[in-house]
Amino acid sequence: MANKHAVLSASSSERWLNCPPSARLCENYEDKGSDYAAEGTDAHTLCEFRLKQALGMPTEDPIDNLSWYNEEMEDCADGYCAFVMEEVAKARERCADPLVLVEQRLDYSRYVGIEGSFGTGDCVIVSDGLLHIIDYKHGLGVLVSAEKNSQLSCYALGALDLFDGIYDIAQVSLTIYQPRRENVSTYTMSREELLAWAKTVLAPAAKLAYEGKGEFKAGDHCQFCKAKANCRKRAEYNLELARYDFEMPALL
């Protein structure tokens, strides 16, 4: 993925927003990957291919090179493609020439004050007054919500930086498409809300994260942290949870 080497990647933003020093700490650990990640990468590749086909964009069939390809993945990609094309049709009702971008690099460095802060948006639809970010999730384990989703919000900032002056964007919609959990989640906010979040939440946390400063904090965001097995704060957090689980009752 294009954000692989970004210190402050959009995909890991929930973690470094909640635990800023984890951004630099994770640089000390090798990215070992997993079968789940490999399957997700194949699914994204297939989704990109099917969507570009539907949009009439140049593309090459990747199926022979997909290790995890199966009928379920094809069904998921078809569903994703159909959903995006429905959103494109809606955009064309609002705007004669909406812009549709697939696997677009989105740089939000200007909003965090750290060069090289970027990610890759699965699908970006830009029309008069509305910016729509759509992100495909293939995973089954975690139900992902679009509401105030930091990853998609970072993508939106990158897209806003590119296209706001052309399309006069007033609203931003974020959508998670997660077919294996039958989950389509959409959250809409104003351009001003997004920019306020960037200024008051994102930028301060990004500065701390980039400098390796701030406080370690454990929570749900630890799930994909490469340092979680050795993290003292997470161990303390788990011990505290265990203490409550096994707390002695007041009465015999």
Q: What pLDDT is attached to residue 144? A: 96
Q: What pLDDT is attached to residue 34? A: 87
* Angstrom distance (rounded) from CA 190 to CA 179: 27
Q: What pLDDT is attached to residue 244? A: 53
Prediction pTM value:
0.88
Identify the CA nearest to 225 among candidates 5, 20, 2, 6.
Answer: 20
Q: What pLDDT is attached to residue 1? A: 37
Secondary structure (3-state) at 101: strand
Question: What are the mean pLDDT values of the chain's consecutive 10-residue runs (252 residues total)?
Answer: 66 93 86 87 98 97 97 98 98 92 96 92 96 97 95 97 89 98 98 97 95 88 80 66 56 56
